Amino acid sequence: MKPPFSSRQASWPASLELFRYLGPGFFVTIGFIDPGNWVTNVVAGSQFGYRLLWVVTLSTAMLIIVQHNAAHLGIVTGRCLAEAAAQHFRPWLRLLMLGSALLACVATALAELLGAAIGLQMLFRLPLPLGVGLASGFALWMLFSKGYRSLEKWIIGFVSLIGLAFLFELSLAQISWRQAAAGWVLPVIPGGAMTTIMAVLGAVVMPHNIYLHSEVIQSRQWHREGSEMVEKQLRYEFLDTLTGMGVGWAINSAMIIMAAAVFYAHHLSVTELPQVAVTIRPIFGPAAAVVFGLGLVFAGLASSVTAAMAGGSIFAGIYNEPFDMADNHSRAGIVITLLGAVALILPLADPFTGILWSQVALSIQLPLTIIPLILLTSSPAVMGRFANPPATRALLWLTGLLVIGLNLLLLQEMLG
């Protein structure tokens, strides 16, 4: 799974050189346009119109900083976050960090599988348990039959289809782009919006995506080609991250804009995803409802794959091993992630509540991912001369503490 790219690839035309590096950022993108984001964004737009678009802008900026740092670790060391933690942290800390991260992957997969199943139910009236089984089977097939580069192409395809689905939805609605432009940059907190703000922020920065980005980027083993290649890759990786996060920002924004234009404008508050299709069908016709359902299925299936892959990487890291689909520990981590999510889904009486509480689980684990990441990438013993400089460390700690604080507020809001 991890052969380094040959030096012959360096002969790409200069005008196409960037495309050699694109891909890992889109693994992260699919994670923050997952069904959990669909729930929070639709609620935000239907209840508060365009006024919470700034939350997407802020959370995406924080995500770029954290994800770039995770990729930084993978490029420089040739190890993902799970491997680096296994090598540099004491066994008890490694077990706490990676064991809790694996549980967070299970919680993530719960939301992803449920989202795909809800979409299949909306489109084909399939029972939720059958939809969950089909979605988990699809994720296993993808991971056991595809290599990294093939998976990247599939994920980019899914992201593109989701983006096209929301472009179609936006083309049907009467949108106030002036209000949207103001909403993106003006931080306004309407009365009663704090819980929704915390939910939107909490659904963007997810533990499994931090592990996943470092895993996918290090699979290319650029560090073996010398420090000049590492420096070059760090520059291109940032462009890849910006591209992927920019697409995610646009899709998340489109969710809120669509909900604002369709539901808020008609004084309709949405609290469940199937309610969206039921509501837009009489307004825009059956095609709009079908496209929404398809987009939800694509989002759930793709994010199920990435959540399970992160689980495999983390479980292998517990044993101080790299992720490798031929290795039993990597395979076991994938199966544990998906079957653990299925086991939690089956007794659920309320899928919407299940997705909501899965976001709480991510909030609880997030400090155990972000703080170790910053410690590792700021250490010269780990990163050599590529360790974070003082200004970068300050920005990372500020971002990390802000993300952690906001997620803890989300947890407090939900528990209160």
* pLDDT score of 123: 94
Q: Return the residue matching tokens 């360790």.
A: 387
How far is it, in rounded angstroms, from Cα 119 to Cα 38? 12
221 φ/ψ sector (left φ>0, alpha ψ -120 to 50, else beta): left
Kindly provide the residue ranges of all beta strands, DSSP E only, lying in 159-266, ordered along the sequence: none
8 A C-beta contact, residue 366 and residue 205: yes
8 A C-beta contact, residue 316 and residue 324: yes
Asked if residue 4 is part of any domain, the answer here is no
Cβ–Cβ contacts within 10 Å for residue 3, how many?
Answer: 10
* pLDDT score of 409: 79
| Amino acid making up residue 413 | E
Mean pLDDT, range 272-298, rounded to an integer: 85
**256 Cα distance to chain centroid:** 17
Task: Supply the pTM of this predicted model.
Answer: 0.88
pLDDT band at 217 (very low <50, low <70, confident <90, very high): confident
CA geometry: angle at 131 spanning 125 and 137, to 5°? 150
Asked if residue 1 is part of any domain, the answer here is no
Q: What is the pLDDT of residues 79-98, one digit of tens each?
A: 999 999 999 999 999 999 99
Cβ–Cβ contacts within 10 Å for residue 124, how many?
Answer: 11
> Could you give phi then psi for residue 284, rounded to 5 degrees?
-115, -5
8 A C-beta contact, residue 206 and residue 112: no
Tokens of 321: 């091993």
Give the length of the chain: 416
How far is it, in rounded angstroms, from Cα 283 to Cα 84? 52
Number of domains in the chain: 1
Asked if residue 5 is part of any domain, the answer here is no
* pLDDT score of 98: 95
Tokens of 145: 């039959």
Radius of gyration, CA atoms only, the chain: 20
CA geometry: angle at 301 spanning 337 and 304, to 5°? 20
Tokens of 260: 């604002």
Asked if residue 56 is part of any domain, the answer here is yes
Asked if residue 74 is part of any domain, the answer here is yes
Q: In this structure, what CATH number is given to the domain that contains residue 263?
A: 1.20.1740.10
Asked if residue 151 is part of any domain, the answer here is yes
pLDDT band at 222 (very low <50, low <70, confident <90, very high): low
Query: Please, what's the largest Cα pairwise distance for the chain?
Result: 62
Q: Return the residue matching tokens 């404008």.
A: 265
Asked if residue 2 is part of any domain, the answer here is no
Asked if residue 6 is part of any domain, the answer here is no
**176 Cα distance to chain centroid:** 28
* pLDDT score of 103: 95
8 A C-beta contact, residue 113 and residue 345: yes
End-to-end CA distance of the chain: 45
Mean pLDDT estimate for the chain? 87
Q: Which of 89, 74, 90 is nearest to 383 (CA)?
A: 74
How far is it, in rounded angstroms, from Cα 367 to Cα 408? 9
Query: Going by C-beta distance under 8 Å and a sequence separation of 6 or more, which residues neighbour residue 161?
Result: 294, 295, 298
Q: What is the pLDDT of residues 356-378, one digit of tens each?
A: 788 778 888 989 999 999 999 99
Is the confidence at residue 337, as pLDDT, over 90?
yes
The sign one gets for the Cα dihedral 391, 394, 400, 403 is negative
* pLDDT score of 416: 66
Tokens of 277: 């299709």
- By residue range, what is the domain housing residue 301? 16-415
* Integer angstrom CA distances of residue 309 from 142, 144, 223: 10, 10, 22
Q: Which of 22, 4, 3 is nearest to 236 (CA)?
A: 22
Q: What is the pLDDT of residues 129-174, one digit of tens each?
A: 999 999 999 999 999 988 777 887 888 899 999 999 989 988 988 9
How far is it, in rounded angstroms, from Cα 28 to Cα 372? 19
How far is it, in rounded angstroms, from Cα 215 to Cα 71? 8
